[in-house]
Amino acid sequence: MSNTENAMIFIENEGALFRGPARGVPQEVWSAREGRFVPYGQAGQIKPVDWGHTLSEDEAQAMMDAARAEMPSRPSSSEQI
């Protein structure tokens, strides 16, 4: 894990999982489709003081696992025509 990732905290807001250096400064958002955090389009815009709430790593992992489980399964390459 890089030093940047070490400084990040997990943030939940309206069912979405974010990661950033502070609750009001999200930098990345979880993409279940890609299976990773991706740059957040509104990164750099400070959020209101009541925006989101922090999560532990375990809580964030549970959200990521749940989001993956909700993704429709893709056919394997052998199943594709």
Across the beta sheet with 28-31, the strand order is 36-39, 28-31, 16-20, 9-13, 53-55
Please, are residues 26 and 37 in contact by the beta-carbon 8 Å criterion? no
pLDDT by residue, tens only, the chain of 81 residues? 455 556 899 999 999 999 999 999 999 999 999 999 999 999 989 999 899 999 999 999 999 999 988 877 655 445 444
CA distance 80 to 65: 26
User: Which residue type occupies 33?
Assistant: R
pTM of the shown model: 0.78
